[in-house]
Amino acid sequence: MIKVIVSGACGRMGSRVIANLIAQKDMKLAGALEKEGHPGLWKDVGDVLHIGELGIKLSKDSGEVIRNGDILVEFSNPETSLEHLRIAAKNKKSVVLGTTGFNNAQVEEIKRTVKEIPCVFSPNMSVGVNLLFKIAREIAPILKDYDIEIIEAHHNLKKDAPSGTALKIAQIISETLGLNLDKDGVYGRKGFTGERKKGEIGIHSVRGGDIAGDHTVIFAGQGERLELTHRASNRDAFALGAIKAIRFIVNAKPGLYNMEDVLLFPILDGQTK
């Protein structure tokens, strides 16, 4: 039985991970973490989430709780996630990290911290989005002379922009084409911007309502355009991806993995790894 700790347990993602996790026969919820001052602290997390009593108290004591599990699933904020990652590394616990909004320095710290533990790190854990990552990587060299624009849409409570998923798509395309995203990325446009420069990657954010997550990559050429779109109707697609990541990471060797490592995509590759 895999003992799972969920951080950000009452958030939009953490709550769906818990709801899907308790339905699995090979894993159980061993701890639930939330920030200081959360109104549900020290109550049964199942009661707080209105999914029935689970026998697990919502806690802020990250050190004690993380030590009691096999795997930490992290959907909180960058600062909290790094703190918890350090605790997990110290106690040799595996990690599934889905938090977004990390800056470059924080990403480098993640890479250093997980050298001795297994960690799946992905801004989006849905099967469909990770297939979009793979397709974008394969299409970009073929359409390298086309203009590339990325549009993402999320709910009005999302704190970071662009989304981690949109940035991941942009990073994949820029690396594939030998571009520098720091130099070639254009984040929205306003005013007299002049003609679009060759090699730009446009990235645009929409915020409104309860949109779970929409991402579109546009390859625009002369007389035609190709659009790759993924739309999430709810967060269970992401939560079920996290469940797959838990099963993968429990038997993985130390190191940093992504969701393509978890999912393998044997149909596109023609073989499994």
For the annotated binding site for NADP(+), the residues are 35
185 C-beta neighbours (distance < 10 Å), count: 18
Catalytic (active site) residue 158: yes
Phi, psi angles (nearest 5°) of residue 63: -60, -50
Binding residues: 8-13, 34-35, 98-100, 122-125, 155, 164-165
Polymer length of the chain = 273
Angstrom distance (rounded) from CA 10 to CA 22: 15
List 144, 158, 204, 244, catalytic entry: 158
Enumerate the known binding-site residues for (S)-2,3,4,5-tetrahydrodipicolinate.
155, 164-165
Residue 267, helix vs strand vs coil: helix
Helix, strand, or coil (residue 113): helix
Assess contact for 243 and 190: CB atoms under 8 A: no
Annotated binding site for NAD(+): 8-13, 34, 98-100, 122-125
Residue 204 bears catalytic tag: no
Phi, psi values for residue 203, rounded to 5°: -135, 125
| Catalytic residue selected from 154, 168, 215, 230 | 154
Active site residues: 154, 158
